[in-house]
Chain A
Amino acid sequence: MSIVNKPGAISTWYLPGILSGLWLTLKYMIRNLFDKKKMPTLNYPEEVYQYGPRFKGNHILTVKKDGSIRCTACMLCATNCPAQCISIVAAESADQRVEKYPIKYEIDILRCVFCGYCEEACPVDAVRMGPEWQTAGLNGSSFSYDIQHLAYRPQLKGGILSRVDDEERHKFGI
């Protein structure tokens, strides 16, 4: 649908248009002065907007019950990542039931496009995208998230438990 606005005679006068614009500004300014609650803007960074829990923001690496990292270093997230921002180095675990785990898991958040494919590809619910969305940092290295940050940053309060439990898996012999 296209709307064609034919310039009428009044619009060529300009002044009514300018005045109506100024009136709108003035109206909101006065309203905000008296009723702060209705004000839609936030005073970032003092005030931070909270998105819903399903918002796909910063990555989280989940942990097992014993607090160790859930990721098995299968590299499906890295394989699937269209921005190629995940880099993983796997190693052999001393625990034979774990076998393989990541010794390095880094996400270059500046390259990440927050598409969510990593979360989708993960077979063990090890990587999730959480509601945090602030990625500001002071230097380059703060945009490269390592395991420490992804799994154990203070905001996560000791780590998020993975839904896929190895013990259960071993018990049922799957």
Chain B
Amino acid sequence: MLRRNFMALAGAATILFGSGQALSQDMPAPFDKAADVNIALVRYLSTGDFFQAYLAGVENQAAALGVNLRVLDSRQDAALQADMVDQAIALGVDGIVIQHGLTESMKEAAQRAVDAGIKVVAFDVNVENEAIPQIEQSDYQLGKMALDQAVKDNGNNFTAGYVYVPGIAPLDRRHVAWEETKAANPDITEVAQFGTLDNPIANSVANQARSVLQANPTINVVFAPYDEFAKGVKIAVDEAGLTDDIDIYSADVSTADISAMREPGSAWVATVATNPAVVGEASVRALALMLAGEDPGASVVVPPTLITQAFLNEQDIKNMDDLGAKMPQFQHADVAMADWMPLPPR
């Protein structure tokens, strides 16, 4: 494991930089004195595997650059998050990554940071500011690719259950893909829509899904575009003894999800995901490009990857590390890159 990581690191480093990790002298200002560069991550959401992995990505890329990272976590308090941007301005940071939040509360705070001469990037929150690039994991693509796979596996004539909670930005964007797929394939019937964010989410969704499957025995495909939803539906399908009759398509992935997908006869056949750690790295790289006076573009989209049950079984993938090793596009996204940019060790 360690050895493989080392090999991967050595390989990546050799290809990209010729030899070893980029030395700070090779990097453009201000990274020639990287220890003097301070960046802040201002978070809105932090609880859960996705956000934990995102944070890890941000930390790793910041460490690879050698800059100081300060993490400000508002824990779903929109007003506090705006205050934290002001706090970061007062601390005199050079760059800010805004992670999630509400447009209404963050728009002005972000503008204040830009006015103070600070470089800002925003992940998954639209702050309506031309000076601020958007980092996205393309939730629309996540939904679209999962549904394309569902149509490929089941034809364009199936009876679907759909798990959705309106008002949650990423789910709303995935919902667009579902509406489009339904419009393009009139023989797909949605007989039930359900969903809840009561936690533990998987347990609450499992309870709902049991009722839905009982009331609608014709369902043969469930589109559950969030892994907690998919996990809940899978529990219900198992309990109802319908594993052979129903296929679950979802979005997002984690180590726990991989083992659920790989259980013998699992109904969870495919998921589409971006690696949240890679998104975190791309966020910091985009910010670094701006600090070095380069332009990362108005939006930096980290492309998602289709992960099927068959692939996981063939390659005997047990966790996220295996997945990254067997699927290089999941380990690293070639976005917001520059020749001088050091990458985190893998």
Chains A and B are bound partners:
no
Residues of A bordering B, CB below 8 Å: none
Residues of B bordering A, CB below 8 Å: none
